[in-house]
Structure 1
Amino acid sequence: MTRLSLILIFFLISLLAVFEAPAYYLWLLAIVVTEFPLVFVTISAVLVASGFWIRNYQLAGTIIGILSIILYLSPIVRAYAVAGTLKDELNTAFNLTEGDNGRPFSFGKMFIPTKDVAGKTLTYINYADTALTLNYYPSQLAGKKPCVIVVHGGSWAKGDKAQLPELNSYLARKGYNVVSIDYRMAPKYKNPAAVMDLKEALTYLRKESNQLNIDTNNFILLGRSAGAQIALLAAYTLHDKGIKGVIDFYGPADMVWGYSLPANPWIMDSRGVMEAYLGGSYAKVPLNYVASSPIEFVDQTSVPTLIIHGHSDVLVAYEHSRRLNEKLAKNGIKHYWLKLPWATHGFDFILNGPGGQLSTYAVERFLKAVSPPAP
């Protein structure tokens, strides 16, 4: 009976590979299930194999255990399906003709550890009531190189520049300077404070460009979740000619629509989060919601955009990316939407997982298209 109980528990966990998580802590578990599934495959396989010695409910346990293994493996299978067309789709979207960066997804790469690049912390702006810092990851190639500015997530009220550093190190090894910034957060600070902070970071990086080996004509903004809203809004409203593109990891692009359809309250009080960031409900401050919606500012002059979103995202609705994708298409902006059918919010926490590999590949190809590092 113990074997069957354990198999049933792992079967229920395996459902997170195909269904949206119904609660906050299950969402956290879903990230591991979908991006590091081999741990759960191994445990389930051991439980199935134990049926050779444990005869009680042997057949039922074996069938359920095998089904669990299939569900755990499904993100890997679907990653191969997405990878099969990803290179050609990116080449078409961004007119890429040069050679690719290897395979978009590899089973073997899931076992390869990431390598860190040492960064340093610098203060980029001193306000009367606070100072803001950034983490600088220098390009590992000599000479002045483009700079990727990373804006962290955290519902505009938490998180910091040290969040998810693996991609920063990866891009630095590929020849990009990477800067991850802190910014002023809610509820004390409201939109557009964070966008203005990003603007100040650009000013600082230009001023220090010789010391930091930054090509000031080639900045790319990258944001995750709430940070993606900030990055998108900055990219579409600052009209800075040095910004060559923006990368949106599961960001809320339409704040007006987003307020109209709140997230599962067991996951997050999305309306409360937005009200803290924008100074009240939509009924009270509707213009603040419009002014904070990147989708409202997309026009024919907007910069190229890479959208990355998992269909099982329970914090930021997939619909945000569909709407942004549609608006970009209508305005003729070069863009690509990487759709990950199994992935949830924060899937890129594991860089070499199925979603992490595909998103990293797409990011690298996008960067080469809009701002390649000179030899």
Structure 2
Amino acid sequence: MRYKILLLILLFVDVFQAHSQFKRDTSFTTYSAFTKEKKHYPEIEIAKLPLAKNTLEKLNIPYKNLGYRKLNLDITYPKKEKKGGYPVVILLFGGGWKSGDKSMCNPQARFLADNGYVAVSVEYRLSPESKYPAAVLDVKEAIRWVRLHAKEYNIDPYHIAVLGRSAGGQLAALIGSTGGDKKYQSGQNLFLSDDVQAVVDIDGILAFHHPESLEGEAASEWLGGTYQEKPAVWDQASALNNVSSQTPPILFINSSNPRFHAGRDDMIKKLNELNIYSEVHEIPNTPHPFWLFNPWFNETNNFTLKFLDKVFKED
């Protein structure tokens, strides 16, 4: 018995050391993106939004225990109670599946909360720490956590959207098209659904291996190998290959960079064949991380709000 306990302790120590020593990639931040894009778009400003008087914000709430550390989320929500609760938007940051953090979503979260939504900005594991499908499992667990805590935050658990930007947009589309998929069933609260009822994909690719795709090193790092090494994984992780009659309505908001539209038009064709509602808004003369900056921050939010109101408040 003591021998077994010792083995378990040694195994835990090995796992802890392996994961606690990973080097965080801090190359993508709002400021680093601003510094880069300011050279080409001198008029831009970092979008900031104060917390409205009618909203509350709680930061760094643990939703998943990895053993060696916890994953957290931020919740921004209306103060006023509402019968049946408010619809929810799960927000996913971008950064090539290797960098970025949830705080980059908070200005948009504040906008959504001020307009009648509960906004949840989620931390998920990045490629320096864990490869695919870790991030997918994390976000799906966050969705179940939100349903578990619906009463606490005046949430309507039947109206949940997932919104992501760049790599987060890719994740949002994949998560939206794989609700209930058994290969992603892992973690806590599995008695609750990980389905979502709407997706907002902001400049996230829909297919990793596609005539329009230019994915390379960052995707290979996250997916655990190149397409030649892991073709099945590259295909599995592409939302385009997971569209079904259960896929929810999707809003695509895109920059003028065609690289980040990969697979979008083919996905829309599939959605149309299944009579699933979708919208596309391509904002001209925009850099990839346009959503972080004025003058495009409000435009992005207005497209998002109009879509969510149509899907959730007109049904």
Per the shorter chain, which TM-score range? 0.7 to 0.9
**Quick check: 1:168 aligned with 2:113?**
no
Matched-pair contact (CA < 8 Å) for 2:200–2:252: yes
- Match for residue 272 of structure 1? 217
- Match for residue 357 of structure 1? 298
Q: Distance in 2 between matches of 1:114 and 1:309?
A: 22
Matched-pair contact (CA < 8 Å) for 2:165–2:204: yes
**Match for residue 137 of structure 1 among 50, 73, 76:** 76
Shift of 1:341: 1.8
- Match for residue 29 of structure 1? 38
**Quick check: 1:127 aligned with 2:127?**
no
Give runs of aligned pairs for residues 197-236 of structure 1, distance below 5 A.
Answer: 197-236=138-177
Q: Distance in 2 between matches of 1:216 and 1:137?
A: 16
Q: Distance in 1 between matches of 2:34 and 2:74?
A: 29
**1:126-146 CA distance string (max 9 Å, x none):** 122331000110124422211
Following superposition, which runs of at least 4 residues in structure 1 exceed 6 angstroms of deviation? none
**1:202-231 CA distance string (max 9 Å, x none):** 221122111111111111100011011111
Shift in CA distance, 283/34, structure 1 to aligned 2, threshold 3 Å: farther
- Match for residue 248 of structure 2? 303
Shift in CA distance, 35/132, structure 1 to aligned 2, threshold 3 Å: same
Shift of 1:372: 2.6
**1:285-336 CA distance string (max 9 Å, x none):** 10000010001111232100000001136xx433443333333233321000
Q: Secondary structure at the match of 1:234?
A: helix
Give runs of aligned pairs for residues 224-263 of structure 1, distance below 5 A.
Answer: 224-239=165-180, 240=193, 243-257=196-210, 261-262=213-214
Q: Distance in 2 between matches of 1:243 and 1:155?
A: 23
Shift of 1:347: 0.6
Count of aligned pairs between the two proteins: 265
- Structure 2 unaligned runs (5+)? 1-32, 181-192
Shift of 1:185: 1.2
- Match for residue 336 of structure 1? 279
Matched-pair contact (CA < 8 Å) for 1:31–1:343: no
Q: Secondary structure at the match of 1:243?
A: coil
- Match for residue 346 of structure 1? 289
Q: Distance in 1 between matches of 2:63 and 2:109?
A: 18
Matched-pair contact (CA < 8 Å) for 1:140–1:172: no
Q: Distance in 2 between matches of 1:221 and 1:373?
A: 18
Matched-pair contact (CA < 8 Å) for 2:105–2:121: no
Q: Which has the larger radius of gyration?
A: 1
Q: Secondary structure at the match of 1:287?
A: helix
Matched-pair contact (CA < 8 Å) for 2:240–2:263: no
**Quick check: 1:294 aligned with 2:232?**
no
Q: Secondary structure at the match of 1:134?
A: strand
Q: Distance in 2 between matches of 1:312 and 1:293?
A: 19
Matched-pair contact (CA < 8 Å) for 1:148–1:220: yes
**Match for residue 95 of structure 2 among 138, 143, 154:** 154
Identity rate, percent: 26
Shift in CA distance, 25/172, structure 1 to aligned 2, threshold 3 Å: closer
Amino acid at match of 2:174: L
Q: Distance in 2 between matches of 1:373 and 1:182?
A: 31
Shift in CA distance, 123/305, structure 1 to aligned 2, threshold 3 Å: same
Matched-pair contact (CA < 8 Å) for 1:151–1:161: yes
Q: Distance in 2 between matches of 1:202 and 1:25?
A: 31
Per mean C-alpha deviation after superposition, the further-off stretch among 355-364 and 243-252 is: 355-364
Matched-pair contact (CA < 8 Å) for 1:309–1:321: no
TM-score normalized by the length of structure 2:
0.76
Q: Distance in 1 between matches of 2:139 and 2:287?
A: 27
Q: Distance in 2 between matches of 1:27 and 1:317?
A: 18
Q: Distance in 2 between matches of 1:141 and 1:319?
A: 41
Matched-pair contact (CA < 8 Å) for 2:206–2:239: yes
Matched-pair contact (CA < 8 Å) for 1:290–1:296: yes
Amino acid at match of 1:119: E
Q: Secondary structure at the match of 1:148?
A: strand
